[in-house]
Amino acid sequence: MPQIKQSRPSDFETLGARWRALEAAADGSFFQSWTWMGCEAAARFPDPVLIEATQDGHTVALALCNRRHTWPGATLWLAESGIEQWDSTFIEHSGPLVARDAGPAVLPALLRAAIAPFGRRLVLSGVPDQVAAVAFSLPGTLEREASRPAPSVDFAPLRANGADHAASLSANTRQQLRRSIRRYQARGPIKLTRAADAAEALLYLDRLAALHQATWTRRGKPGAFAVPEFHQFHRSLIARAHPRGEAELLHITAGGETIGYLYNFIWRGWVLAYQSGLAYPVHDATLKPGLTCHHLAIADHFVHGMAGYDFLAGDARYKTSLANATRPLFWLELGPPWRLAAVSAWLRRRK
């Protein structure tokens, strides 16, 4: 059985070195990497709790949480702060970082340890079905559950069938895409440009943010970049991730005019489409900047040998139109079995 211990880390640089070592031995996502987890860590984890699983003296799992005190006990937020401004970054594909050879007993033991002391609650955001399945198996602990689809384009079946991305789309999507591309080409050649270094990537991010905010304020919404911590986090993240080849900023133009900017993460062969800023036309509904930009990015990464293009959580029309696969992500809240909310939720699931 794994040994579980808990501590309050005081040196994030030392923790980062340990995290990177486990990262190399795990099949974690970009959102479980130290690039993401360690970004603005001191601000995001003001009361950190590190839960560690060891086997034969070796670390096989790590979970970094922030503790917030609520009645009647504390709540741990896995990989998040529990502070709305910092959690606006919206983590996905999350969960404890577990070594690939750790064995099936590690994750249940770690989750039980997170909620055991003094009846703590545990918030899990954007976890995959493997983590959710373990959470569901813990009797009387699940208090709240929600899920969202995460559409993606898996390049393997396209390559196996000798098809490109456009050929795999529905007739209606192909028609919309081809018409949009023709209309953009009337302005001049379409070009996809990558930010060459972190400085240019930050310039692209600011331009993306301006387009993003203009779109959402027109719709009467605040927009992601209205939260200062969101912009601060991603400027810091790009400075960390871009030199490691883990983030890219793309600028798509037609005849020199901007169609849009894309902000993607690059992780172990996959592209994660995180954020965009698009120049929506006012009077021409046949121009589809989102559909066009993402298709061009997909086609580019397909040619360059990537494994796939993950749209992350959400069922926006452009995601489902371009995707050929989907998987669920879960947002869960766990509590001690004696809490009424946990017992009620468990009984409802058994009906």
Strands (E), 255-318: 257-267, 270-278, 308-310
The pLDDT tens digits for 166-183 are 999 999 999 999 999 999
Task: For residue 100, give the nearest of 24, 26, 1 by alpha carbon.
Answer: 26
Report residue 336's pLDDT band, with 50, 70 and 90 as the boundaries.
confident
Domain layout of the chain by residue ranges = 3-141+335-350, 152-327
**In 10 A of CB 229, how many CB atoms?**
18
Which amino acid belongs to residue 122? L
Q: Is the pLDDT of residue 347 over 70?
A: no
Task: For residue 30, give the nearest of 205, 227, 244 by alpha carbon.
Answer: 244
What pLDDT shows up at residue 138? 87
CATH number of 152-327: 3.40.630.30
- What's the full length of the chain, in residues? 351
The pLDDT tens digits for 239-291 are 999 999 999 999 999 999 999 999 999 999 999 999 999 999 988 889 999 99
What pLDDT shows up at residue 37? 98
What pLDDT shows up at residue 342? 54
What share of the chain in percent tops pLDDT 70?
A: 95
CATH number of 3-141+335-350: 3.40.630
What pLDDT shows up at residue 348? 57
Contacts of residue 179, Cβ cutoff 8 Å, sequence gap at least 6: 286
